[in-house]
A and B are shown apart, each in its own frame.
Chain A
């Protein structure tokens, strides 16, 4: 697959490599600095921020866990994001399948509507959603935020899944229908298995989006014991401006999950790219 375009001489290709390494360095170096700072004591860090740690310590992580409840926030995030993702995928896979393979009346209108809704910025929704949820007593607890996450992610999910389920050949489905398989049988035994990479792509992208989301999580869960990881980090960062090593440790904890996901699932994330931007 390494079809080079061979538009360059060998020596210039070496130069391209060096330049790419330079670009990669500019991305990785700040992360490296934060990663090492997280493992240092503050005095050791202040002596020489660039250098290697004089001694390694987990003290910063211990402080985050014991004093600032980052462990609870991590678990809260995991819980909210996982539940929201499962509900979202359940609703979106059915809708995507329906739009891709059934003559849904007004499907043109529905898809157009979803694409338009995708463009609504979160800041436009936050005020009315806050007021509506507080009317139902849902501010300050997980279900309210879960509903918001499910809904705001749905348009992209449905759109993407409708596209990828279209790739499932009709002949296979016709054959299943002739064998007497109904909507659910066809869905679970054919469409899902054949469209699994599309589902995985959406799942990863949505997980990342919700994990990183700040404004809804911050506004809708004001209570410290219910807070999610990203707003918790934002608050720690605001309070301890000068405590570089503590903030670095918080950054590392928050960034770890997305980075691991990227490494494990880069194939799916790169697939999602071709569908444009999710949010």
Chain B
């Protein structure tokens, strides 16, 4: 959605500038026009400078760091060695495979979100209140959600007291890799499906109601309409939600891992973004951490690019 809006905005800004800027032999700008351009530039300048200084420059700095062995004071240039060392380190591949395990959350979240959005779409009485409730987990910090689920699944937690009441032994959820990952996945689904059901709902609302009426006249039942009309119509929104979920599992698990497992047992729940933190602030290998950060950045960029491509193709048909 962001991209669509961006294009609209970019297109319009270009149109606004064109009366003076586009004609082939440029006539000199009238003074008021020059003044307008200058005022506009001054209004935008602070934002551009701050973003350049605190976001763009650090990206360049991270690139430089990733080519060095450094403790933050002394730098020793070592070319691409940080990258080659990382790529041949089995730990990296273990961590990447952890990230891939977390991808299980993607179909779960999307399924839950789809079901919820279809229910909301019926716009029964009070749906606006439901909407606010479903949004609730998204206003909470990942640290809060993570701790909430660690409490629920903790040794003295609610889940274990249910287990004990049923005659079992309390389970240590966070000392076994797959159990720990499962709990984090549950937390991910809980915190994500509500917001995404609202995104999907906005896709549903954009469907032309005439399509539904026509289908009803043809005698298509509710399930048929969902399967043959609703889902195909919002496939682009589903694609968008899919991509942001994949991005999310690579960039936003830090909070969950930090408070729930600290990456353990061993490195069994360490994700790429957590490994960056461990390397830079736990293991004093800043260069290696920066190299990993750069690789994550490239991955995010590639996924976003792919998303844009998919959207373009979607626009054509």
Bound complex: CA A212 to CA B191 (Å): 14
Q: Decide if B55 touches A131 in the complex (CB within 8 Å).
A: no
Main secondary structure on A side of the interface with B: helix
Chain A: residues with Cβ within 8 Å of the partner, total of 113
What are the interface flags for B149-168 relative to A under an 8 Å C-beta threshold, 1 for contact and 0 otherwise? 11110111110011000000
How distant is B218 from chain A, measured CB to nearest CB, in Å? 13
**Given A13-B124, A30-B190, A258-B139, residue A125 in contact with residue B280 (CB < 8 A):** no
Alpha-carbon distance A254/B13, docked complex (angstroms): 41
Q: Is A150 an interface residue (CB 8 A)?
A: yes
- With a cutoff of 8 Å between Cβ atoms, the chain B residues found around residue A31 in the complex are 136, 148
Kindly list chain B residues whose C-beta atoms are within 8 Å of the C-beta of A45: 156
User: Dominant SS at the B interface?
Assistant: helix
Query: In the bound complex, do residue A104 and residue B148 qualify as a contact, i.e. CB atoms below 8 Å apart?
Result: no
Q: Which residue of chain B has the shortest Cβ distance to A170 in the bound complex?
A: B16
List 22 A-B pairs, Cβ < 8 Å.
A24-B133, A30-B190, A95-B48, A98-B44, A103-B16, A103-B17, A117-B51, A120-B297, A121-B251, A125-B59, A127-B293, A130-B281, A134-B72, A212-B142, A213-B141, A214-B254, A233-B144, A238-B259, A255-B141, A258-B140, A262-B132, A262-B139
Q: What is B's interface to A at a CB cutoff of 8 Å? A: 1-3, 5-6, 9-10, 12-14, 16-17, 20-21, 33, 36-37, 39-44, 46-48, 50-51, 53-59, 61-62, 65, 72, 116, 119-127, 130-137, 139-144, 147-152, 154-158, 161-162, 190, 194-195, 198-199, 202, 209, 212, 216, 222, 225, 244, 251-252, 254-255, 258-259, 262, 273, 276-277, 280-281, 286, 289-290, 293-294, 296-297, 300-301, 304
Beyond known contacts A107-B40, A120-B297, A214-B254: 10 more, CB 8 A cutoff: A7-B222, A27-B137, A50-B162, A91-B46, A92-B47, A101-B40, A115-B3, A123-B254, A124-B294, A273-B198
Task: Point out residues on A near B: beta carbons under 8 Å.
Answer: 2-5, 7-8, 12-13, 16-17, 19-20, 23-24, 26-28, 30-31, 33-34, 37, 45-46, 48-50, 91-92, 94-95, 97-99, 101-105, 107-108, 110-115, 117-132, 134, 147-148, 150-152, 154-155, 158-159, 162-163, 166, 183, 208, 211-215, 218-219, 230-231, 233-234, 237-238, 241-242, 244, 247-248, 250-251, 254-255, 258-259, 261-263, 266, 269-270, 273-277
